[in-house]
Structure 1
Amino acid sequence: MQPEVTRATARMANGKAVDIYRPSARCGPDPLPAVLIWHGIGPDERDILRPVAEAVAAGGTMVFAPDWRSDAPDRGRAHLLDSLEFVRKEAAGHGADPDRLVVAGWSAGAGAAVGLVTRPDLFDTPRPTAVVGIAGRYDVPARTTGTAPLDDVVAHAPEAAAVHLVHGTEDELDVTHSRVFAEALAARSWPVRLVEPVSDHAGVVMSEYDAVAGRCVPSASERARLGGEATVEAILSAASGLRA
């Protein structure tokens, strides 16, 4: 039986909502690893990540899932970085360790998350312990940096950080995007692991696209099961400090 998870909603200084997931039962007094997870291009769609966030929290982490708007004038950069600052400042008060922070992102959020470690010179805060890119592209400008992570890891030669990638083999956003990025990281001795479940773009976050609703909704399909399991395992692996 999956451990019970509680969910609370807070407001960041910018007014955006962030859902905070935590396991109801704690094992020991130590703070939990903190996971910040960003949704994709749909504005203010943190709810799409609820199935993944609950499963990751059940695995023994504190998960923060904020809203952000890709249609903002800055393409969402301020919202994303505000949520990072929120977790850095507030994690301890919620029983999580801000020094054990994993940042994960799905779709447009994937490049944004990875950009935190490929261009650390752009940020005043410490780099995350690890990042997880879920069904992303890395050859286009990331929402956090304005530059492409694939270019940055070559041109700027930042210090290596742990990168976990998940990309479904049936994704309409070709899995080659993640393969090329993983190869570029490995060529520079970065610890990287790419997992390719038999899933599609929505399936990797336990969802499917609903054409009537015009958005992704939770799904119990086989694609969603396989994709979701791969994503949850990747985030928990990153949070536990495992390396590829």
Structure 2
Amino acid sequence: MPSHVPVIKTLAKGESGKLIDVYQPGERPERPLPVILIWHGLGPDERDILQPLAEEVVARGAVVFASDWRSDAPDGGRADLLNSIRFVLAQAASFGGDPKHFVLAGWSAGAGAAISVALRPELLDGWRPVAAVGIAGHYELPARTTGETPLDDLAATSADPVPIRLVHGRGDIILDVQNSRDFAEALVARGWPVHLDEVATDHAGVIMTEYNLELNRCVPTASPSAVEGGRVTAESLILAAETGAATK
């Protein structure tokens, strides 16, 4: 399970009315911390499944936002996702975060959505995260933020590279690890800095959960492979923040 450190969890509401969980250290830090927004996968409004990972990241020194979004919305979730970025930019400082030190991340369907924002600065009037992290993603499927695949967004972009980190379980039977390997190669070919962590867990394990068939959703687990997978993902998110800050 996540590291045992005091964490404050606050429920907020974003611009589109979507709920957002905010995780911050139990004690106010002396200086603003990196901000990390994490998007869940296709299951509508499943921000809660990210709690174990979010708490693990907070233990390493960040303020984490986990936002609901609906893949079954008419726009595929685009407005929910982009509105959550606007919310974090506006509210991060009030939770002890530094909005200029913003990492965007996503798991499963959220992975491509997050990566494509980094590739397409015109989505938010030129704004981009200092780094982006794709967790157990598929990068040949249309991203929910752009409507194009991340591979196509990469081929078309003229934006300056920002650091990209990818995490994928070698035991993932939902989205094979080869998806991240192929995308990492494509990023390298275009001159983008990328790091891929492969871990001995499955699709749910990289966010410190396991899939529950009865509930049809991911739930927290103390499985050693999931705990290790989540810790690798948490460390990758923190390293993304550090690398992004160093390259600003």
Could you state the TM-score of these two structures normalised by the residue count of structure 2?
Answer: 0.94
DSSP 3-state at the match of 2:20: strand
Q: How far off its partner does 1:67 sit?
A: 0.7
2 CA distance for matches of 1:157 and 1:65?
29
Equivalent position of 2:44 in the other structure: 43
Alignment of 1:188-203 (within 5 A): 188-203=190-205
1 CA distance for matches of 2:158 and 2:187?
10
1:83 equivalenced with 2:84 (yes/no): yes
Q: Out of 220, 226, 237, which is 2:239 matched to?
A: 237
2 CA distance for matches of 1:233 and 1:103?
14
2 CA distance for matches of 1:179 and 1:157?
23
Runs of 4+ in 1 over 3 A off after TM superposition: none
Q: Deviations over 1:106-126 (max 9, x none)?
A: 000000000111122232151
Tell me how large the CA RMSD over aligned residues is. 1.5
DSSP 3-state at the match of 2:243: coil
Amino acid at match of 1:83: S
Equivalent position of 1:5 in the other structure: 7
Amino acid at match of 2:163: A
Amino acid at match of 1:23: P
Equivalent position of 1:177 in the other structure: 179
2 CA distance for matches of 1:188 and 1:134?
21
Amino acid at match of 2:156: A
Amino acid at match of 1:109: G
Equivalences, count: 243
Q: How far off its partner does 1:155 sit?
A: 2.8
Gaps in structure 1 of 5+ consecutive residues: none
Alignment of 1:65-80 (within 5 A): 65-80=66-81
Q: Deviations over 1:7-35 (max 9, x none)?
A: 0101113211101000112442x211111
Equivalent position of 1:129 in the other structure: 130
Q: Deviations over 1:57-79 (max 9, x none)?
A: 11111111111111000000000
Task: Please tell me whether the aligned partners of residues 104 and 113 of structure 1 are also in contact (alpha carbons under 8 angstroms).
Answer: yes
DSSP 3-state at the match of 2:61: coil
Q: How far off its partner does 1:144 sit?
A: 0.4
Task: Please tell me whether the aligned partners of residues 206 and 225 of structure 1 are also in contact (alpha carbons under 8 angstroms).
Answer: yes
DSSP 3-state at the match of 2:238: helix
Amino acid at match of 1:62: V
DSSP 3-state at the match of 1:170: coil
Could you state the TM-score of these two structures normalised by the residue count of structure 1?
Answer: 0.95
Gaps in structure 2 of 5+ consecutive residues: none
Q: Deviations over 1:128-161 (max 9, x none)?
A: 0000000001111100010111122123343211
2 CA distance for matches of 1:27 and 1:49?
23
Q: Deviations over 1:185-220 (max 9, x none)?
A: 111221100000001000000011100111111111
Amino acid at match of 1:235: L
1 CA distance for matches of 2:189 and 2:228?
29
DSSP 3-state at the match of 1:193: strand
Amino acid at match of 2:169: G
